[in-house]
């Protein structure tokens, strides 16, 4: 049995863990969901309600064409396989009877392309060549003659490839649409592996698809993923900067002077309950449909909360600092610029970190108004076609960007505000600069007091000398 002392260092009430244990728990914080995701994705008996197709297939009389990567339920898959086998059996029986079934060159051309996904998965063809008829025709030839061997393709499908090539090769060794037979060829029998639902792709699919999307060249003058990423960053940071320009001074004034608090806060408190997306149509009408309304939406969604949060932070400033400055002779304007602002800077910085994360939550909605753009356009398009293996990398990218940005800002907090616990030459230099306004007020007050005391002493000495 484990000793109670073994866990005492981990579960101390209101006690901070050691740096090593903090790091260990931080690593596990990220590893646990990844491990859970891998277990669910790769352990067959845990949870795999779908079957992911490895070979494209279709059926007569059914308009739906299943391509490689599509998901079907485990209950439907055996029925699907059996239906294709029955169609192949009917083709073989008709040929044996000397009465081939009616077909078309076009249908056979589509059927040949079904092997393209296997060729791409094996690395014989690039993803963009999966519909190249000449290259695909060569794959059929190579598989039938033994020049290539696929570990993915089942033995049943290998035999179908050989039977089809016996017909195709007799007509033409190279692809010629005019030489394709009219009679139906045998269909590849659907193959599949157990899989998660389509909305939860496996980690390896997400990595491979994400890498392909981020390294692919854009088509039809489209945007690269890097360009989409930069576009989204501009929307976020422009909207946040404008929110700071407006929200910071108003929030500080509201927290310092009751006049501004009663003037701005009631309406701001009312306005923050209005959902920012409701202004999207109005913003497009005013600012046109390009990037401006997107930035404006981030601004509208962030600035009301910024004003109220900063005013609250300003009110939390220790009143004794104001009293001390007044005692030393600080004037009202000096209280604001040289006591209030420097005094709230550490907490103000943390507020802005939180509010930047809040601004990120408006990205998806902002990029959907007007002309769709950035990462959100890609998410919306791929989600519509249920390509969630292409959606997950973007979601992860947004999360990583926000997290890394926040960690950098957290590190800078210790550099910019060293009197809260950091040390070092840079920290001391920053501390000296940041506290200079307060020190200036104190020194000026001390000089004024010393001058007053000196003048009083001189007047007293003069009266004593004048006394007979």
For the chain, what are the domain ranges? 50-195, 225-448
CA–CA dist 181, 177 (Å, integer):
9
**3-state SS record for 356-408:** HHHHHCCHHHHHHCCCCCHHHHHHHHHHHCCCHHHHHHHHHHHHHHHHHHHHH
Phi and psi torsions of 427, nearest 5°: -65, -40
CA–CA dist 141, 8 (Å, integer):
69
User: What percent of the chain has a predicted confidence (pLDDT) above 90?
Assistant: 49
User: What percent of the chain has a predicted confidence (pLDDT) above 70?
Assistant: 88
Residue 434: pLDDT above 60?
no
Task: Please state, rounded to an integer, the average pLDDT across all residues of the chain.
Answer: 86
Q: Which of 126, 166, 127 is nearest to 143 (CA)?
A: 166
Contact 65, 80 (CB under 8 A): no
Average pLDDT over residues 63-73: 83
Residue 206: pLDDT above 70?
yes
- Binning pLDDT at 50, 70 and 90, where does residue 19 land? confident
- Binning pLDDT at 50, 70 and 90, where does residue 444 land? low
Q: What are the C-alpha distances in Å from 464 to residues 53, 293, 340?
A: 109, 78, 45
> DSSP label at 66?
B
Residue 1: pLDDT above 80?
no
Average pLDDT over residues 176-205: 90
Give me the numbers of helices (H) and strands (E) for the chain, helices first please: 20, 3
- Binning pLDDT at 50, 70 and 90, where does residue 333 land? confident
pLDDT value at residue 39: 92
Give 119-132 as a DSSP string. HHHHTSS-GGGTT-
Helix, strand, or coil (residue 61): coil
* Ordered alpha helix ranges (H), 9-75: 19-42
Q: Centre a 10 Å sphere on the Cβ of residue 68 and count the other Cβ atoms it contains.
A: 20
pLDDT value at residue 462: 64
pLDDT in tens, 382-401: 998 888 999 999 999 999 99
Residue 226: pLDDT above 70?
yes
Helix, strand, or coil (residue 172): coil
CA–CA dist 323, 329 (Å, integer):
10
- Binning pLDDT at 50, 70 and 90, where does residue 188 land? very high
Contact 365, 297 (CB under 8 A): yes
The answer to whether the Cα torsion of 362, 363, 364, 366 is positive or negative is positive
CA–CA dist 309, 319 (Å, integer):
19
- Binning pLDDT at 50, 70 and 90, where does residue 432 land? very low
pLDDT in tens, 238-292: 999 999 999 999 999 999 999 999 999 999 999 999 998 899 889 999 988 788 9
According to DSSP, the residues that pair with 72 across neighbouring strands are 51
pLDDT: which is higher, 148 or 69: 148
pTM, to two decimals: 0.75
Helix, strand, coil proportions of the chain in percent (round to 5)? Answer: 70, 5, 30
Residue 461: pLDDT above 80?
no
According to DSSP, the residues that pair with 73 across neighbouring strands are 50
Please work out, in degrees rounded to the nearest 5, the angle formed at the alpha carbon of residue 332 by the alpha carbons of 331 and 335.
85
pLDDT value at residue 332: 81
CATH numeric code, 225-448: 1.10.3720.10
Residue 64: pLDDT above 80?
no
pLDDT: which is higher, 64 or 75: 75
| Burial class of residue 399, CB neighbours in 10 A (0-12, 13-18, 19+) | exposed
pLDDT value at residue 424: 39
pLDDT: which is higher, 424 or 42: 42
């Amino acid at each position: 049995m484990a000793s109670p002392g073994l866990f005492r260092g981990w579960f101390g009430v209101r006690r901070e863990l050691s740096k090593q244990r903090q790091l260990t728990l931080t690593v596990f914080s990220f590893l646990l969901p990844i491990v859970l995701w891998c277990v669910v994705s790769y352990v067959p008996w845990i949870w795999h309600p779908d079957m992911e197709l490895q070979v494209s297939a279709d059926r007569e009389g059914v308009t739906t064409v299943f391509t490689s990567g599509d998901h079907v339920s485990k209950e439907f898959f055996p029925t699907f396989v059996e239906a294709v086998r029955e169609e192949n059996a009917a083709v073989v029986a008709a040929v044996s009877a000397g009465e081939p079934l009616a077909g078309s060159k076009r249908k056979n051309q589509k059927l040949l392309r079904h092997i393209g996904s296997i060729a791409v998965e094996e690395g014989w063809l690039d993803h963009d060549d999966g519909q190249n008829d000449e290259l695909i025709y060569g794959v059929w030839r190579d598989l039938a003659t033994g020049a290539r061997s696929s570990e993915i393709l089942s033995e049943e499908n290998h035999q179908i490839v050989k039977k089809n090539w016996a017909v195709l090769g007799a007509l033409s060794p190279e692809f010629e649409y005019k030489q394709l037979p009219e009679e139906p060829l045998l269909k590849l029998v659907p193959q599949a592996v157990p899989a998660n639902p389509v909305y939860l792709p496996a980690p390896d699919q997400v990595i491979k698809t994400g890498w392909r999307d981020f390294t692919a060249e854009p088509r039809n003058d489209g945007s690269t993923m890097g360009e989409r990423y930069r576009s989204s960053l501009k929307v976020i940071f422009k909207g946040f900067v404008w929110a700071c320009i407006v929200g910071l001074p108003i929030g500080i004034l509201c927290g310092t002077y009751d006049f501004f608090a009663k003037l701005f806060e009631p309406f701001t408190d009312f306005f923050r309950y209005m959902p920012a997306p409701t202004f999207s149509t109005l913003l497009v009408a005013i600012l046109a449909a390009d990037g401006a309304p997107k930035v404006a939406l981030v601004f509208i969604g962030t600035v009301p909360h910024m004003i109220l949060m900063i005013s609250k932070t300003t009110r939390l400033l220790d009143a004794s600092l104001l009293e001390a400055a007044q005692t030393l002779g600080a004037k009202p304007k000096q209280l604001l610029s040289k006591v209030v602002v420097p005094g709230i800077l550490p907490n103000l910085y943390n507020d802005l970190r939180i509010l930047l994360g809040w601004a990120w939550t408006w990205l998806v909605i902002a990029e959907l108004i007007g002309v769709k753009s950035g990462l959100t356009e890609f998410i919306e398009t791929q989600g519509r076609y249920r390509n969630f293996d292409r959606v997950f990398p973007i979601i992860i990218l947004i999360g990583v960007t926000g997290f890394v940005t926040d960690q950098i800002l957290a590190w800078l907090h210790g550099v910019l505000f060293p009197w809260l616990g950091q040390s070092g030459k840079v920290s001391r230099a920053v501390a000296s600069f940041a506290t200079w306004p307060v020190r200036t007020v104190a020194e000026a007050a001390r000089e004024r007091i010393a001058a007053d005391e000196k003048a009083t002493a001189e007047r007293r000495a003069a009266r004593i000398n004048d006394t007979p």
